[in-house]
Structure 1
Amino acid sequence: MILDHTIGIFTNPDKEWAAIRKQDRSMLAEFLTHVPLLVLIPTICFYYGVSQVGWTATEGGEVIRLSSESAMVLCVLSYGAALVGIWVFGMFINWMAETYSDEKINSHHGMALSVYSTTPIMLAGAAGAFPSIWFNAAAMLVAGAYSVFLIYRGMPILMNIPEERAFMYSSSVITVALVMLVTLRVATVIVWSAGVGPEYVAI
């Protein structure tokens, strides 16, 4: 079912992780029923924010926007990067399961952890409609903190491993996520230097 468990992961995460573990769903199905739709939220909101609303670097400063064409290209690239990032994150979780889990690896579980733990960040992308640096930073900080909580809380339930081992597994997963984030930033700089950078429009 499309976007099932999305609300439950916020209202009762323990119960929802247990329900997700029992589901007989493929890795691809878990990904396709959630990620393409959820990633549209930050994509559309940031497009609107940077091309229609604009932002200022200082209080009372000049309002700056991106041209519609530039914003479209960057948002499409970001959409693709998010899809790839969440898929690769799920693959890493499954790969590391060989080290931390004693039971047979179920690829659905690793992808589910990737999908649902990044859901708060995707939903927080709605803040992009109002491109205030502080507002967006606060939204992403809260979303990131809840994502970390979901990983630590969901790991022992979803992977069926003891709390102590789950803590080490979760910490490794979060480290991978941080490395992927840094890699994405570096890739962004490379893409910009290749001529796909933003085109600013002063108002």
Structure 2
Amino acid sequence: MSLSLRAGICMVILFAMWILSIVNFVLESFFTEPVEQLTRIVNKDEILIEFPLAFRRAWKTDIIYPPGSVDVSGGRVYLKPGKYIVSYEGKYYWVSEDFVIVDYAHLSEILSYPIMGGIQFILTDGVYVASERDIDIFAGAVEGILADRRVLALVSYFDFENNVLLLRRGIRVKVLDWESLETNKELLLQLENASDRSEYIFLSDGKLLRAR
């Protein structure tokens, strides 16, 4: 087979592939339509939700599952529940126990529940996951602190980046050891009736000192 003949065959094949791609684009444009896709979410209570549109062709349907969901077979998916509210790039989100963003936080939730800040996220496999080191230690301490309802009513903000805890009265606590603060969280109750907005430092040995 001559070189010119081989080149001619290659050109014909490339031309045919180009024609097929155009035909596929036309079919996608004219025969694809958005349709409502109901996805069954299995949490503590099973609910049926209406999730973003699927794209249905006459021969195939592409189903879009919620980011962060886990397939549990049988046409069901498990959506990770939100555990903490985080502030990230000027917006508020619910994150799961493993710090994956799963939902937006409503204003009423933001006003009534402590916020975490100073946490960075990266996009991994279609979901936003916390990229910080020691986030598990921080989250464990926060969970332990918020387990006491009396303390929960005092706290408004946890700053991971600057190691700061803010109380609803405007009092700022610099935290040198989050795990130790969890163990000695009852010390925060001493600030419940504080008359000023002083700054405090919580030391690693479990002492709470007034900074100014």
Q: TM-score range by the shorter chain?
A: under 0.3
Counting strand residues as a fraction of each chain, which structure ranks higher? Answer: 2
Which protein shows a greater Rg?
2
Give the TM-score normalised by the residue count of structure 1.
Answer: 0.22
The one of the two structures with greater contact order (alpha-carbon pairs below 8 A, sep at least 6) is 1
Structure 1 or 2: more helix by fraction? 1
TM-score by length of 2: 0.21
